[in-house]
Amino acid sequence: MKKEKLVILDCNSLLNRAFYALPPMATSKGQPTGAVYGFTTMLLKIYDEIKPDYIAAAFDKTKITFRHKEYADYKAGRKKMPDELAAQFEPAKELLNAFNIGIFELEGYEADDIIGTISKKYESNDLEVIIYTGDRDALQLVSDYTKVVITKKGITETDVFDKELLIERYGLNPEGIIDLKGLMGDSSDNIPGVPGVGEKTALKLLHEYKTLENVFNNIDSIAGKKLKESLIQYKEQAFLSKRLASIERNVPIDVDLEKIKTEDYDAMRIKDIFSKLEFNSLINRINNMHGNKDINKDINKETSFNLKIKIYNGESDYIKRIKEEKIFNFIFLKSDKTIEGMVADDEYFVPENHIIDFKDIFESVHIAKNTYSAKLVYNYLSEKGIELNNLTFDAEIAAYILNPSESSYEIEKILKSYVGISFNNNLNDNKEIAALFIDNLNNIKENMLGEINKYGMSKLFYEVEMPLIKVLSNMELRGFKVNEQTLREIGFKLSEEIDKLTDEIYNIAGEEFNINSPKQLGVILFEKLNLPVVKKTKTGYSTDAEVLDELYDKNEIIEKILNYRQLVKLKSTYIDGLISCISEDEKIHSNFNQTVTATGRISSTEPNLQNIPIKMEQGRKIRKAFEPSSEEYVILSADYSQIELRVLAHISEDANLIDAFINNQDIHKRTASEVFDIPMEEVTAIQRSRAKAINFGIVYGLGDYSLSKDLKISRKEAKIYIDNYFKRYEGVRKYLDTAIEEGRKNGYVKTILNRIRYIPEINSNNKTLRAFGERLAMNTPIQGSAADIIKIAMVNVDRRLQNEGLKSRLLLQVHDELVIEVYKDELKYVSELVKNEMESAVKLSVPLIADVKWGNDWYEAK
């Protein structure tokens, strides 16, 4: 007789694991989904590999449990769950319900206790229990009938513990796991254990004395004076820790296996949830689930597409027809980094070697071009000496501004969203998919432009985003010259500084050790130097940045370790990383991404030139390596001054903010004066710094808790600062409230150019998700408007440089800064041109100010 299987999921643990294992994911409307996606892939893997008959899901119900009554500091110090993770618990539960997986949670108990109770009730000769968790506390539940699967790295690697592996790995029976916790504690749950006793020592004691009770019964036999004293002193704490780590296996819950059969899942409901969460890639995997239900029935109904791909081979009639029709729809096909060819009107595939035949069409100002991913087209054609003129439509850019939170904008998605065409596997290759796209591009364009016009984004599309494509293409192709020798010299000096710091750290520690090893560093800090332990990890002491910041004033070694880490990262990530990106032309050609950020900002990758550190001098010096392409040029940097605060003044119409900017006052001093109710001339450096934190944090939904942590003050004091701020800046308060109200009413917010961002979270019943949405509603109009402004400035500056026949060229955009290579004879004129175009990009109620500097390299220009 086949033995049935019951799988029990520790959902809090698994969702947490998935959240941190995967890169951030979100739906096109901005709903975070990474944790649910990872959790779902784990679940499908369980169906595929285990084929369980029943599944139960356990959740923590509340933060306060019966353990807190015995030990008030239980789990104290644990970081607050990120809002983006908390928001994913409800979707996960909705999915579990669709799979007919029983959800069990109870006030006062943890998921561990529920798991222990269910496993105890059902483990038997006839039913195998398999527990999935990331928490090793569950190893105490291993038995002849119960296995515990522990997630390791990522979401796919696991250890399957039965009694044999448990003994092999730890040398303990399941009951010994509780004794182990009693001795070593558990930093993740703030279970204290016995100070100075780690896993190695605890295992050694238990291998010799078997149980915690026997350890203390034989206390006189234990070697090591320090260990014995610690055990005697903390005996009560050890037994308390054992009780806290013990899983309660008699929780008053009702479990009926007949109600959680895996075969009773709701296929269509799963489909609906996958569709809502945009888990399109997972739908086909459902077919292989236990029960083999056809969930794909009625999904993406196959349509017969009568496509007949024709290979272009120099037919002059085809070229002639395009010229007569005055419109050319096409899409380039790319394999890795190579252009294979293009698919064009009438289902023609043009091999790469024939693209040049269309030179006259591409360059004609009388033939309108509609395409997808036009930057790729510009880049390719420019390298072939062909100019692309009269580009009228890019479907990728249109899709982006209509749904800026999408993770990608493939043509398959566009076909489905804007002309209702979807397909499974009935198209043979990319050429057929591209041909289907081109066949429908006129309708796609019409529908997209209708939506763009409906939301008032025509100016954004035609005057900003479309012309920006060529600007970014030119920047990528032009590149930024980087002096490799300068980078190596900076790297050599950093190595010297790192070596000096290393020696100083060794001298303070009194011995040499691996500074990069958290384990070895922990021993030095907390055992040898006796610094107070802030928190522990499963493998030992935590030595992360947060811990070191807390210990900053405790010993001079901490400052040196922090400096050491900064310099090592600077050397490896930026010096060595940038050197590896220098091309044969001695330049770095970064990719500038126009369709990535939800706020409208441009991003830079391969490498990220927007992320070079500037807060420390050693980081700023990296910019010395970024030089003009020849001695005839200098580097000019033009940087907007406090652009987000100026946008806030404009949008909020706050009288005090507007007055400060119109009168060219130090805005942080002005805010300090308002918040602390003192004259501006009496504002101290500390007060100005605190006001600056408030100014930049307020539109991010800054609360008293966050401000108190940032400024290292009490929450009470932080609340007084924020209250005082809103008393003096009533317009800002009104704006923030209105932004939330409009976001809730419309489901989206807008920038000054009507760029939209959908915020479905703002109307969520989930408090955490709703708060996340409210912060987006407050900040997006500010950050997005700043992005609009810098893009307008880029387009206008580049247009004038080109139209006026100047030799100066735009090289880089970094947040609110434009970097330009300026021909020396044009320096005065171009400086004024750039400043004027940036400051007149839009008309606000306060002046836009651009600070312009230049030098022989990027460092000098700042």
pLDDT at 291: 41
pLDDT band at 703; cut points 50, 70, 90: confident
User: Are the beta carbons of 777 and 749 closer than 8 angstroms?
Assistant: yes
Q: What's the CA gap between 512 and 505, in Å, rounded? A: 8
Same-domain pairing of 252 and 351: no
Could you tell me how many residues make up the chain? 862
Contact residues for 17 (Cβ-Cβ < 8 A; gap 6+): 38, 134, 151, 155
Q: Which two tokens stand for residue 419?
A: 């002309």
Mean pLDDT (whole number) for 40-57: 92
Tokens of 641: 């001054």
Is 711 a member of any domain?
Answer: yes
392 shares a domain with 255: no
Distance CA 303, CA 421 (A): 9
665, 746: one domain: yes
Mean pLDDT of 687-699: 88
- CA dist 153 and 249 (Å) reads 29
Whether the per-residue pLDDT at 289 is higher than 60: the answer is no
Percent of the chain with pLDDT over 70: 96
Residue 413: name the closest of 426, 425, 400, 394 by CA: 400
Omega before residue 607 within 30° of 0, cis: yes
Query: Are 351 and 252 found together in one domain?
Result: no
pLDDT at 494: 94
Alpha-carbon dihedral sign for residues 13, 14, 18, 21: positive
The type of residue at 4 is E
- Spatial neighbors of 843 by CB under 8 A, at least 6 apart, are none
3-state SS class at 80: coil
Instruction: Report percent pLDDT > 90 for the chain.
Output: 62
Residues 253 and 333 in one domain: no
In a domain, 180, yes or no: no
Phi and psi, residue 29, nearest 5°: -95, 0
Residues 6+ apart with CB under 8 A from 252: 106
Q: Is the predicted pLDDT of residue 295 greater than 70, yes or no? A: no
CATH of the domain at 408: 3.30.420.10
When mean pLDDT is compared over 28-37, 63-72, 687-696, the highest value belongs to 687-696
Torsion of CA 525, 530, 532, 538, to 10 degrees: 60
Least confident of 643-657, 752-766, 828-842: 752-766
Domain count, the chain: 3
- Predicted local distance difference test score (pLDDT) of residue 356: 96
Assigned domain for 547 exists: no
Amino acid identity of 175?
A: E
Residues 399, 252 share a domain: no
pLDDT band at 305 (very low <50, low <70, confident <90, very high): low
Query: Which structural domain range is residue 369 located in?
Result: 310-454
Q: Is residue 552 part of a domain?
A: no
253, 328: one domain: no
pLDDT in tens, 481-490: 999 999 999 9
Structure tokens, 492: 């050599």
> Is residue 240, in this structure, part of any structural domain at all?
no
Note whether residue 519 is domain-resident.
no
pLDDT at 293 over 50: no
Specify the CATH number for the domain of residue 41: 3.40.50.1010
pLDDT digits (tens, 9 = 90+) for 706-722: 888 788 888 898 899 89
Residue 367: predicted pLDDT: 97
Residue 351 and residue 357 in contact, taking contact as beta carbons nearer than 8 Å = no
pLDDT grade for 296, boundaries at 50, 70 and 90:
very low
Residues 254 and 323 in one domain: no
Residue 24 has pLDDT above 80, yes or no: no
Indicate if 252 and 326 belong to the same structural domain.
no
Tell me the DSSP string of 422-480: --SS-S-SHHHHHHHHHHTHHHHHHHHHHHHHHTT-HHIIIIIIHHHHHHHHHHHHH-E
Cα–Cα distance for residue pair 661/664, rounded to 1 Å: 5
d(Cα 13, Cα 6) in Å, to the nearest integer? Answer: 18
Q: pLDDT digits over 488-546, tens only?
A: 999 999 999 999 999 999 999 999 999 999 889 999 999 999 999 988 877 788 898 88
Does residue 207 belong to any structural domain of this protein? no
Query: What is the C-alpha separation between 75 and 70, in angstroms, rounded?
Result: 12
Amino acid sitting at position 844: L
Contact 91, 33 (CB under 8 A): yes
Between CA 412 and CA 433 the distance in angstroms is 8
**Are 120 and 27 contained in the same domain?**
yes
Domain boundary among 779, 801, 827: 779
pLDDT in tens, 171-182: 999 999 999 988
Average pLDDT of the chain is 90
Q: Are residues 14 and 153 in the same domain?
A: yes
Q: In this predicted model, what pLDDT tens digit does every residue of 220-279 receive, in sequence order? A: 888 888 888 888 888 888 898 888 889 999 999 989 999 999 888 887 788 778 888 888
Q: Which residue has the tokens 């002005």?
A: 670
Contact 536, 184 (CB under 8 A): no
Give the pLDDT mean for 25-54: 88
Q: Phi and psi (nearest 5°) for 106?
A: -150, 135
- What is the structure's pLDDT at 237? 87
Do the domain assignments include residue 449?
yes
Pick the last residue of a domain from 725, 755, 779. 779
Looking at the fold, whether 146 and 20 belong to one and the same domain comes out as yes
**Structural contact between residues 56 and 118, judged by C-beta atoms closer than 8 angstroms:** yes
**Which CATH number goes with the domain that contains 710?**
1.10.150.20
pLDDT band (50, 70, 90) for residue 426:
low
Q: Select from 761, 779, 797 the last residue of a domain.
A: 779
